[in-house]
Structure 1
């Protein structure tokens, strides 16, 4: 089991760090009172590996509870529970600037100077920093760079190699655009099987419609160009810390052309080793609207 305690100075990036750990599959709890750490650790260790990665944010927001941290850590050591501490810090001027930009009050100086709160917090956390397994100064780091550091420390090799989840989504324009799309493509330039009586009852999942849609040169050119674009974009999205990519492909009703193209793209991406899902949002909408049964 990997048991991680995230702590450090207010404004130094603990929220970004815990989100990165959550993306890596950690079970995360923010602002857990330190007195509860031993009991929580005991429960996790009794799950027989079902919960194998835990991350807790423990910081000065706990006020008087924070003083119990060392007692709780001592209890973990007595039980021979291994743990790691990641301590985040930044220069005073950087923290002051972040607080001024966010217009938030420092927890140790709610009605006073931010700098006084930072100085007091440094003194209180000095012993914790000394015990830390990993110390990260975020003064010059962007959110993406902090994410990369956390990934390198706490991510396993398999996650780091293939951590972008792609969803190929077919839809019908007449039922509205998918609100969560990252990339959206319109295939209404292709001939519509809806107007061919013998094809209308079928969908892009059926061979008859698939053969028809894929028979056009324009379809093959489009699929080739879209594949090239995605192959170029995916590693660049990964570099920017993106975890999920929604590629939406739409036609008029979301039943024929978009389904066929989405299925083809799903197959192509899967064949080149991409972690990919397929969804057909509106494939049955026209059927239900017309009162027909599948």
Structure 2
């Protein structure tokens, strides 16, 4: 049985995620008091195959009941019920914009600033985020993109092979919230300062050749490949089904794109399930 707990920041897309899970055939329950999770799991597992996929949305709306969540999760583990945690996150700027657009009140800031509620919620959810099997940053996602991400994890990604997401980014736009591993390649020579290369990206041969002509670039790629090869089996052993590797440079246009492409091709050639996204490639 697939038993998924959906949680995360208010405004990050939990309701949309639940709709996606329903479309995928999950039996979904919204805002179940955490103290009832173990009893609900016992009921579902006793159905002997009648219910194969379950998703529960548990979040800060439970108020004081939310404090029972960690004890309930431990109870699930003690009773041998396997579960996964899907955590939805988004940047502060994105969350504030969404609350203002919908004119909703943040559950932890009914009489104060939205950002104060967001900060308080982040603090209360931090430990839960650390326990999550999958974190999705919805800051730049449309509902359709979120649905595709969830489909990839819970349908195509339902086997034992870990899905690896390679993400290039620019530090000036912030580190991706869902990154498991972050590598900083700002130590490499920057094509941005070469006039004939500035307007191209790491997807262009002239830029990638420039980035990779330096001995430190070649050595870094070798060590990066070795490290990822070393880590993947251990992530799989711990039950992680998606690994997000973020590679950043200043603008996210040249060096990070080049190195991300090389790592993507390396892992793809080795038969790994891998995808790539260049978050800030089009930035000036």
Task: Please state which band the TM-score falls in when normalised by the shorter chain.
Answer: 0.5 to 0.7
The equivalent of 1:10 in structure 2 is 10
In our comparison, the structure showing a higher alpha carbon Rg is 1
RMSD: 1.2
For residues 134-158 of structure 1, the C-alpha deviation after alignment (integer angstroms, 9 at most, x for no partner) is 0000001111000000011112589
Q: Could you list the runs of 5+ residues in structure 1 that have no partner in the other structure?
A: 159-294
The equivalent of 1:108 in structure 2 is 108
The equivalent of 2:132 in structure 1 is 132
State how far apart, in whole Å, the 1-side matches of 2:133 and 2:16 are.
Answer: 18
Aligned length: 158
State how far apart, in whole Å, the 2-side matches of 1:52 and 1:2 are.
Answer: 6
State how far apart, in whole Å, the 1-side matches of 2:6 and 2:89 are.
Answer: 11
The equivalent of 2:23 in structure 1 is 23
Q: Secondary structure at the match of 1:80?
A: coil
Q: Secondary structure at the match of 1:94?
A: helix
The equivalent of 1:69 in structure 2 is 69
**Do structure 1's residue 57 and structure 2's residue 57 form an aligned pair?**
yes
Q: Secondary structure at the match of 2:136?
A: strand
For residues 229-274 of structure 1, the C-alpha deviation after alignment (integer angstroms, 9 at most, x for no partner) is xxxxxxxxxxxxxxxxxxxxxxxxxxxxxxxxxxxxxxxxxxxxxx
State how far apart, in whole Å, the 2-side matches of 1:62 and 1:113 are.
Answer: 21
* 4+ aligned runs moved over 4 Å, structure 1: none
State how far apart, in whole Å, the 2-side matches of 1:20 and 1:110 are.
Answer: 29
Q: Shift in Å at residue 111 of structure 1?
A: 1.4
- Compute the TM-score of the two structures, normalised by the length of structure 2: 0.55
Q: Could you list the runs of 5+ residues in structure 2 that have no partner in the other structure?
A: 159-284
State how far apart, in whole Å, the 2-side matches of 1:153 and 1:48 are.
Answer: 24
Q: Secondary structure at the match of 1:75?
A: helix
State how far apart, in whole Å, the 2-side matches of 1:156 and 1:63 are.
Answer: 35
For residues 29-74 of structure 1, the C-alpha deviation after alignment (integer angstroms, 9 at most, x for no partner) is 0000000000000000000010010000000000111110010000
The equivalent of 2:211 in structure 1 is none
For residues 104-135 of structure 1, the C-alpha deviation after alignment (integer angstroms, 9 at most, x for no partner) is 00000011100000000000000000000000
State how far apart, in whole Å, the 2-side matches of 1:143 and 1:116 are.
Answer: 26
- Compute the TM-score of the two structures, normalised by the length of structure 1: 0.53
State how far apart, in whole Å, the 1-side matches of 2:144 and 2:126 are.
Answer: 27
State how far apart, in whole Å, the 1-side matches of 2:155 and 2:58 are.
Answer: 21
State how far apart, in whole Å, the 2-side matches of 1:49 and 1:153 are.
Answer: 22
